[in-house]
């Protein structure tokens, strides 16, 4: 079954409203186990966000083996937009990928650095780039499900496809 980003947004809004109602009424919030009982399985998430982000026990140096791509990912995660531009001008690929197909833009989202991500997008990073080995998820799809509301409008403003689908999202 393929589900579009629009459908995913609706599902997430229902879950968010349900969690707010449960919290306001004194009930416990919705847990990963509750979601699993509904057939919604949540995969590994960032264990530490920010410039020294860690995902599933990996840091940027573990993810990006290409030195230019690693330097670009680190600069974007730290929000050093002038350095991002300089590295891209010298040939660093703004659509570069690393371990399991993680893109520089996707990694920058994990770092939660809006300025770095915006600069990557301005330089041509593709918000619809599928991340091989992760179920074809893209930064656009991740933005649609993010708890951080700035990601989705940013991706849409730079060509994010609101009808992009991923197979078996949970």
Over residues 124-169, the pLDDT tens digits come to 999 999 877 655 588 998 888 888 889 999 999 999 988 877 655 4
DSSP state of 95: T
Name the pairing type of β-strands 54-55 and 46-48.
antiparallel
Q: Contact 108/76 with Cβ under 8 angstroms?
A: yes
pTM of full prediction above 0.75:
no
**Terminal alpha carbon distance of the chain:** 11
Work out the average pLDDT over 79-91: 97
**Adjacent-strand bridge partners of 165:** 4
């Amino acid at each position: 079954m393929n589900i579009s980003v629009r459908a995913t947004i609706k599902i997430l809004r229902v879950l968010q409203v349900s969690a707010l109602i449960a919290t306001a009424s004194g009930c416990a919030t919705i847990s990963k186990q509750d979601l699993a009982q509904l057939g919604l399985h949540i995969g590994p998430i960032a264990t530490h966000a920010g410039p020294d982000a860690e995902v599933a026990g990996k840091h940027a140096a573990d993810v990006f083996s290409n030195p230019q791509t690693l330097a670009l990912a680190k600069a974007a995660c730290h929000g050093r937009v002038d350095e991002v531009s300089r590295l891209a001008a010298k040939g660093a690929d703004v659509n570069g990928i690393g371990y399991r197909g993680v893109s520089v833009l996707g990694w920058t989202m994990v770092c939660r650095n809006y300025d770095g991500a915006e600069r990557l997008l301005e330089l041509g990073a593709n918000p619809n780039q599928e991340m091989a080995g992760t179920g074809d998820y893209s930064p656009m799809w991740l933005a649609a499900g993010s708890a951080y509301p700035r990601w989705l409008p940013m991706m849409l403003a730079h060509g994010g496809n609101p009808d992009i689908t991923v197979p078996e999202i949970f």
